[in-house]
Amino acid sequence: MAKRRLTDQQKRRIASNKNHLSQLQDSTDSAADNQIFNGLVVSHHGRKLVVEIDDGQRYSCKLRQNLGDIACGDSVVIQVDQQQHGVVVAVNERKNVLEKTGFAGQVKTVAANIGQVVIVCSVEPEPNDYLIDRYLTAAENLPAEALIILNKIDLLNDDNRSTIEAIRSTYKNIGYRIIETSIKENVGLEELRAALKDTTSILVGLSGVGKSSLVKMLLPDIDIRIGEISTASKEGKHTTTVSSLYHLPDGGALIDSPGVRDFTPWNRNKEDIVNGFVELKPYQGYCKFSNCTHTTEPGCAITEALNKGELSQQRVNSFKKMLEDLEESARL
């Protein structure tokens, strides 16, 4: 997957941040009481941040104005005074950023510098394939690796077997890794731990699929870790609305954010949607018409591939629905 080019806005922000840092360094030459650290945002709630520096020390930080949205996983520069009060003064260049569309189509930052998007679905409730495809589109456009977790596999029975086998077949055939897990029967948990090592992962999925149970399994001392972040942030209560980054015992990190339980990826244009469907890329540019919408036009390469059985009907349906959603949002 090719790395997405920075937008002009992102380039301007990076240049601005470098300028802020240069100005800050000049000012601290005569203000030795202040210290400057690079750090990692491990908790974010509104304009309140907890930043962890290299030695593990954590600081509750305010956010300097005009830095834009900051999220868990961001690498930042902080200034700390003698009273141990921190201020985020710059955001280092991001590898990627996960965004969602919010109220009135407003784009909101969810997390940054993600190596892997872990899509959690379950045998019960039945997987929503369109939601899976939306998450996969977001992962491809970061870009980041995508991992599908099929949880509660102990609930597999004759009534749901055909649906689950279809899910397995569809996504394995296009190259996505699926790990089947069960907390109850201790299935697939070691494989999941291994898959999360040496990268920063974010779990996404609807409520009821067992995401919280998996987090507790991966982080057996989760309550202690939440307490540590609460202490660092000087907040008496760490609510479920706070996004947090946790270091995993076997290596790697896990971002748990309530903002990704159900979200619409921000597809800026048709190219984003095409890029999100890896199996459709070989057919791009081979349609009879250069402006083919892949719906009703004759000579559509994707339609022809579908008719030959080379593509999944479910995936093509998701592709077309995303194009329709994009067109509808453009009319609003």
Whether the Cβ atoms of residue 100 and residue 110 lie closer than 8 Å to each other: yes
For tokens 């984003």, the residue is 272
Q: Is the dihedral of CA 187, 189, 190, 195 positive or negative?
A: positive
Q: What pLDDT score does 224 carry?
A: 47
Report the distance separating Cα 296 and Cα 288, nearest Å. Answer: 12
Angle among Cα 191, 197, 203 to the nearest 5 degrees reads: 80
Q: Which helix (H) or strand (E) holds 324?
A: helix 313-331
Give me the residues paired with residue 53 across strands. Answer: 39
Give me the residues paired with residue 179 across strands. Answer: 149
Residue 88 structure tokens: 């985020």
Q: Which residues contact 175 (CB under 8 A, 6 or more apart)?
A: 278
Give me the residues paired with residue 80 across strands. Answer: 35, 86
For tokens 């609510």, the residue is 239
Q: What pLDDT score does 226 carry?
A: 54
Question: Which domains, from first to last, does the chain contain?
Answer: 8-91 (2.40.50.140), 103-260 (3.40.50.300), 270-331 (1.10.40.50)
Q: What pLDDT score does 162 carry?
A: 96
Give me the residues paired with residue 121 across strands. Answer: 150
Q: Which amino acid would we find at residue 328?
A: E
Angle among Cα 253, 173, 151 to the nearest 5 degrees reads: 45
Q: What pLDDT score does 17 carry?
A: 55
Strands (E) in 83-194, as ranges, are 86-91, 97-101, 107-112, 116-122, 145-151, 177-180
Q: What pLDDT score does 29 carry?
A: 45
Q: What pLDDT score does 231 carry?
A: 61
Cα Rg of the chain, angstroms? 22
Q: Which amino acid would we find at residue 80?
A: V
Residue 133 structure tokens: 């495809």
Q: Which helix (H) or strand (E) holds 40?
A: strand 35-45
Report the distance separating Cα 285 and Cα 298, nearest Å. Answer: 14
Report the distance separating Cα 171 and Cα 264, nearest Å. Answer: 20
Q: Which residues contact 305 (CB under 8 A, 6 or more apart)?
A: 283, 311
What predicted TM-score, i.e. pTM, was given to this entire model?
Answer: 0.84
Report the distance separating Cα 327 and Cα 321, nearest Å. Answer: 10
Three-state secondary-structure class, residue 52:
strand
Report the distance separating Cα 248 and Cα 268, nearest Å. Answer: 33
Run means of pLDDT, 10 residues per run, the chain, 332 residues: 51 56 49 83 85 94 88 95 91 93 76 96 93 93 96 96 96 97 97 97 88 90 60 50 86 82 71 92 90 87 94 95 85 70
Nearest CA-CA partner of 315 in 172, 124, 122, 119: 172
